[in-house]
């Protein structure tokens, strides 16, 4: 993983410079595995994010905003009791392990000085956030409880002593010379990257591969030099945080990773880099967990309607023979004298054909001539009636496919709050049953909460992330002379600029948001229409979020997470 012991050391240094001596003003727990602390230090408020997400565990400063639950979890309440108002005295790392300790000092309920430690262990699915009474070295609580039945080495439970994770027999790489490095490696055994990880503390496979890459043809001369060059750079805190992307795969570290290949995007701080790298990843992971049943339902409904269209189109092929059935009926009626019961077909002159060509008419040998003629007239009438009905059914089914296709696009960029609104919409549409039978239901008059962005010139841009939000934004909130944006013929969000005279740059930024929050978010040169809200109409009886518009202009933009992050701040 990228967040290894060396990265933890660098992040500890960044957090210490920004937060040391600060006061903890606010503590929130937006999700079960994440803690957010607002710390006032160096004349400004900082947002410290501590995450033990199994895939995205980390500690960083963040500019991202998070929605909080209506009722704070018990761990959050305990953290507020013990830490709010306390001073952050120090931040340090345990050796080169992925463990960061926040030393805090304050007064308890009795007014006595109290010293606590907030210990963040960043270890993948074993990550944890633990509050410890420093004087007694006793665990007050942890965001995740671990019993001796799960971990025989230590229990992470209230009242238990805090014990560090088991130590590994690894050498601290700082302060070593070339001979020290060579003594730990066996060049004859091969797999040098794995040997580096096994023998030296704080180094991940990612960094080990970079060392080998920098060494070129790795041997006893080049490898130690490349090793020390990198470690000395890290020791001096000489970083250039970068995300290196190659073939759609991204990797971040303290500097560009040449071994990863591709292009590198650099950042001024580690936290800024992590905000960019993890933008939306954890949210989408949570949404995926919460919306599994919803996503399955939407996909099934879309597939069902697509199959229905196929069957209906086959019915149309049959219905389009109506004119042929009418012709057969009329020709049989004109030639009844030539037909006898038991005949399987008859060839008659088609008097509608100017050339006088003949036509062969299949017959039912069990019916008399008159009944055969009436059979064709009956089939003609059924086919004629069916043609109109089937075309209506196809149009309805296509509308359903477009509707569920739009919902799929919305789920991809949805937050947990957006998912609940999509679920409510499907309940209101009669597609699914309301599962919140015993829970307090949301107020009918509750207004959707829209995502707000700030353009480069300070203009507010609002984005609807689902149909409820789109309807509210376009039909109720937006002024008639506001500019409205939507991807051209592509499912996506409604976007509105709250200005009557936006700059060209703001128009392009709003178009970029519309393209990003659409089905075309992975495409380039996406067409985005924009027009005044006064030219946007919702047809009577239309599906939620559906509108028609005119007087539009079109711009072409390429969606980018960088632009979204820039405008979100």
Q: Is residue 334 part of a domain?
A: yes
Measured CA to CA, the distance from residue 515 to residue 517 in angstroms comes to: 6
Q: What percent of the chain has pLDDT over 90?
A: 63
| Lowest-confidence pick of 97-106, 128-137, 185-194 | 185-194
Q: Give the model's pLDDT for residue 55.
A: 86
Closest by CA to 118, choosing from 185, 27, 188, 242, is: 27
Q: Is residue 432 part of a domain?
A: no
Domain total of the chain: 4
The per-residue pLDDT for range 427-441, each reduced to its tens digit, is 888 888 876 554 445
Residues 133 and 27 placed together within one structural domain of the fold = yes
The per-residue pLDDT for range 307-322, each reduced to its tens digit, is 999 888 887 776 777 7
Q: Is residue 373 part of a domain?
A: yes
Residues 251 and 187 placed together within one structural domain of the fold = yes
Residues 104 and 196 placed together within one structural domain of the fold = no
| Lowest-confidence pick of 125-139, 326-340, 351-365, 381-395 | 381-395
Domain containing 208 — which CATH number?
1.10.8.50
Q: Give the model's pLDDT for residue 355.
A: 83
Q: Exposure string (b/e) for 42-74, b if CB count within 10 Å is 16 or more?
A: eeeebbbbbbbbeebbbbbbbebeeeeeeebbe
Residues 276 and 376 placed together within one structural domain of the fold = no
Mean pLDDT, rounded, for 358-366: 92
Backbone dihedral angles phi then psi of residue 426, each to the nearest 5 degrees: -70, -35
Q: Is residue 123 part of a domain?
A: yes
Of 256, 285, 314, the residue at which a domain comes to its end is 285
Q: Is residue 349 part of a domain?
A: yes
Q: Is residue 160 part of a domain?
A: no
Of 220, 251, 285, the residue at which a domain comes to its end is 285
Closest by CA to 561, choosing from 508, 529, 528, 516, is: 516
Structural domain including 54 reads 5-142
Domain containing 119 — which CATH number?
2.30.310.10
pLDDT tier at 293, thresholds 50, 70, 90 = confident
Of 142, 164, 194, the residue at which a domain comes to its end is 142
Domain containing 340 — which CATH number?
1.10.287
Q: Give the model's pLDDT for residue 253.
A: 94
Residues 203 and 127 placed together within one structural domain of the fold = no
Q: Give the model's pLDDT for residue 438.
A: 46
Q: Give the model's pLDDT for residue 445.
A: 57
Query: Kind and range of the H or E element at 428?
Result: helix 416-428
The per-residue pLDDT for range 63-96, each reduced to its tens digit, is 887 778 878 999 999 999 999 999 999 999 999 9
Q: Which two tokens stand for residue 517?
A: 């929050």
Residues 317 and 280 placed together within one structural domain of the fold = no
Q: What percent of the chain has pLDDT over 70?
A: 97
Higher pLDDT, 6 or 542: 6
Residues 403 and 519 placed together within one structural domain of the fold = no
Measured CA to CA, the distance from residue 211 to residue 208 in angstroms comes to: 5
Residues 12 and 135 placed together within one structural domain of the fold = yes
Q: Is residue 218 part of a domain?
A: yes
Residues 273 and 326 placed together within one structural domain of the fold = no
Residues 228 and 310 placed together within one structural domain of the fold = no
Q: Give the model's pLDDT for residue 478.
A: 94
Measured CA to CA, the distance from residue 47 to residue 481 in angstroms comes to: 37
Residues 461 and 361 placed together within one structural domain of the fold = no
The per-residue pLDDT for range 495-504, each reduced to its tens digit, is 999 988 899 9
Q: Is residue 306 part of a domain?
A: yes
Q: Is the pLDDT of residue 555 over 80?
A: yes
Residues 467 and 364 placed together within one structural domain of the fold = no
């Amino acid at each position: 993983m990228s967040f290894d012991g060396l990265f933890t050391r660098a992040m500890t240094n960044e957090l210490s410079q920004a937060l040391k001596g600060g006061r903890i003003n606010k503590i929130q727990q937006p999700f079960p595995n994440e803690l957010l602390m607002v710390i006032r230090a160096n004349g400004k408020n900082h947002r410290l994010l501590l995450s033990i997400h199994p895939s995205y565990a980390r500690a960083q400063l963040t500019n991202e905003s998070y929605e909080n639950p209506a009722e704070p979890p018990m761990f959050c309440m305990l953290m507020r009791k013990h830490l709010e108002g306390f001073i952050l005295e120090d931040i340090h790392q345990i050796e080169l392990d992925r463990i960061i300790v926040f030393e805090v000092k304050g007064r308890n309920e009795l007014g006595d000085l109290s010293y606590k430690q907030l210990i963040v262990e960043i270890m993948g699915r074993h990550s944890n956030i633990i509050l410890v009474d420093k004087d007694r070295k006793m665990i007050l609580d942890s965001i995740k409880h671990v019993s001796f039945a799960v971990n025989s080495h230590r229990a992470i439970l209230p009242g238990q002593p805090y014990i560090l994770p088991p130590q590994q027999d690894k050498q601290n790489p700082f302060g070593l010379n070339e001979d020290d490095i060579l003594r730990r490696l066996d060049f004859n055994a091969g797999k040098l990257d794995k040997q580096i990880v096994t023998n030296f503390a704080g180094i991940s496979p990612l960094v080990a591969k970079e060392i080998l890459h920098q060494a070129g043809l790795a041997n006893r001369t080049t490898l130690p030099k490349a090793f020390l060059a990198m470690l000395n750079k890290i020791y001096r805190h000489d970083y250039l945080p970068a995300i290196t992307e190659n073939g759609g795969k991204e990797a971040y570290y303290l500097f560009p990773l040449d071994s990863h290949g591709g292009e590198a995007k650099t950042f001024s701080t580690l936290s800024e880099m992590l905000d960019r790298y993890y933008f939306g990843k954890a949210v989408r992971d949570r949404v995926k967990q919460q919306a599994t049943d919803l996503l399955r339902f939407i996909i099934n409904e879309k597939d069902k309607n697509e199959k229905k269209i196929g069957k209906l189109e086959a019915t149309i092929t049959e219905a389009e023979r109506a004119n042929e059935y009418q012709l057969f009926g009329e020709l049989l009626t004109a030639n009844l004298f030539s037909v006898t019961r038991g005949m399987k077909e008859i060839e008659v002159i088609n008097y509608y054909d100017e050339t006088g060509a003949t036509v062969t008419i299949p017959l039912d040998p069990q019916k008399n001539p008159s009944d055969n003629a009436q059979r064709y007239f009956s089939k003609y009438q059924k086919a004629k009636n069916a043609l109109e009905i089937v075309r209506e059914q196809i149009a309805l089914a296509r509308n359903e496919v477009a509707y569920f296709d739009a919902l799929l696009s919305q789920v991809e960029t949805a937050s947990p709050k957006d998912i609940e609104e999509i679920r409510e919409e499907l309940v209101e549409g009669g597609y699914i049953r309301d599962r919140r039978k015993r829970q307090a239901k949301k107020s009918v008059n509750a207004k959707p909460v829209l995502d707000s962005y700030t353009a480069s010139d300070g203009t507010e841009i609002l984005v609807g992330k689902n149909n409820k939000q789109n309807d509210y934004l376009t039909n109720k909130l937006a002024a008639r002379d506001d500019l409205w944006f939507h991807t051209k013929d592509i499912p996506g969000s409604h976007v509105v600029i709250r200005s009557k005279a936006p700059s060209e740059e703001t128009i392009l930024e709003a178009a970029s948001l519309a393209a990003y929050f659409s089905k075309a978010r992975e495409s380039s040169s996406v067409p985005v229409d924009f027009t005044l809200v006064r030219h946007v109409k919702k047809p009577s009886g239309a599906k939620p979020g559906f509108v028609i518009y005119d007087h539009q202009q079109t711009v072409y933009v390429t969606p980018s997470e960088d632009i979204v992050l820039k405008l979100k701040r």
